[in-house]
């Protein structure tokens, strides 16, 4: 499985990891914002990297605003994120790469950073009510990460690709 995501800034990532430890919960890998739902790829990683690089070259960096804590059914606790038009354009540009795995894409996707998976729905709702607001209101997404997941659930970064056209190096 592959993913295309944005890593939050270090301070936000560390804060979320501390919340995970404090409450004895975990998400899938370190905190991240999916820019496309996980998918399978049948060609080479290099072909995928080049394809993603070509797509993100046409999208400028954008700001993600952070909202409140919410839940999805199935015991998921997440921090709502809002990327506006720039996020939506990038998300939809990445969508045609491959069929999604087990989730619905398109207009129903809600940008978020997951804190907890696999809780009872009532536990998830209670935890979401008790969590403090994030230590920052937004962050700038300047690059994306192309990742794959190992059998143990660990995300392995294949490449980091900058958004937008980069000046030629001399």
For the chain, domain boundaries = 2-162
Residue closest to 63 by CA, chosen among 84, 32, 37: 84
User: What pLDDT was estimated at residue 163?
Assistant: 96
- Of 170 and 31, which is predicted with more confidence? 31
| pLDDT over 70 (residue 167) | no
Chain mean position to CA 7: 7
Average pLDDT, the chain: 92
User: What pLDDT was estimated at residue 168?
Assistant: 58
The pTM of this model reads: 0.91
| Residue burial 79-101, b: 16+ Cβ < 10 Å; e: rest | bebebeebbeebbebbbebbebe
In CATH, which superfamily holds the domain spanning 2-162? Cyclic phosphodiesterase (3.90.1140.10)
d(CA 170, CA 158): 25
Task: Give the range among 19-23, 72-76, 105-109, 137-141 with minimum mean pLDDT.
Answer: 105-109
Q: Encoding tokens for residue 97?
A: 């790469």
């Amino acid at each position: 499985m592959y993913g295309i995501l944005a890593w939050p800034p270090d301070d936000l990532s560390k804060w979320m990891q501390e919340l995970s430890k404090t409450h004895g919960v975990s998400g899938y890998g370190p905190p991240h914002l999916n820019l496309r739902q996980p998918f399978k790829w049948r060609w080479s990683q290099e072909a995928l990297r080049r394809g993603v690089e070509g797509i993100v070259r046409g999208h400028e960096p954008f700001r993600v605003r952070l909202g409140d804590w919410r839940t999805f059914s199935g015991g998921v606790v997440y921090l709502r994120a809002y990327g506006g038009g720039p996020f939506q354009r990038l998300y939809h540009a990445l969508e045609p790469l491959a069929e999604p795995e087990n989730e619905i894409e398109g207009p129903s996707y809600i940008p978020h950073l997951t804190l907890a998976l696999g809780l009872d729905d009532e536990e998830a709702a209670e935890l979401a009510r008790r969590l403090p607001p994030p230590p920052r209101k937004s962050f700038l997404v300047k690059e994306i990460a192309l990742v794959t997941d190992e059998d143990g659930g660990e995300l392995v970064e294949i490449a980091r690709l900058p958004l937008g056209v980069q000046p030629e190096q001399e």
